[in-house]
Amino acid sequence: GTPFYMAPEQATERVVDDLTDLYNLGATMFRMFTGEYANLGIPTGDVQMLSRARKPAIRINPHLPRGLNDVIMACLEGERSARPAEARHVKESLERVARKMGLD
């Protein structure tokens, strides 16, 4: 994994699964919509500090729809259990954002 997109569990060599992929997706969306990296290096095991230290994407890009910010930040939760439970939940949330923006 590239450190700028790496989930905490990847950095600490713990279990990697679909929730890790959602973190990676969140890091990719964060970069796409803000021009900045969600992580400034390899995440440490202190996931609560990681989540508190990260600025919400909407603070960097105030034109970002609130719903999109919420999806991105949910995917970037340091605690795996706080991330969306399944990729389909992320997909459904992104579809709602697209509909609100008239992009359906």
Q: What is the mean pLDDT of each run of 10 residues along the chain (104 residues)?
A: 83 87 96 91 58 82 97 94 96 97 88
pLDDT of residue 42: 59
Residues 6+ apart with CB under 8 A from 5: 24, 27, 28, 31, 37, 38, 39
- Are 34 and 58 in contact, with CB atoms under 8 Å apart? no
Task: State which H helix or E strand residue 84 sits in.
Answer: none
For residue 18, how far is the Cα from the chain centroid?
A: 13
Buried b (16+ CB within 10 A) or exposed e, 32-61: ebbeeebbeeebeeebeebbeebebbbeeb
pLDDT of residue 53: 62
pLDDT of residue 1: 64
Q: Could you give the C-alpha distances from 94 to 24, 74, 75, in angstroms and in order?
A: 16, 12, 12
pLDDT of residue 29: 97
Place of tokens 């964060």: 30
pLDDT of residue 47: 57
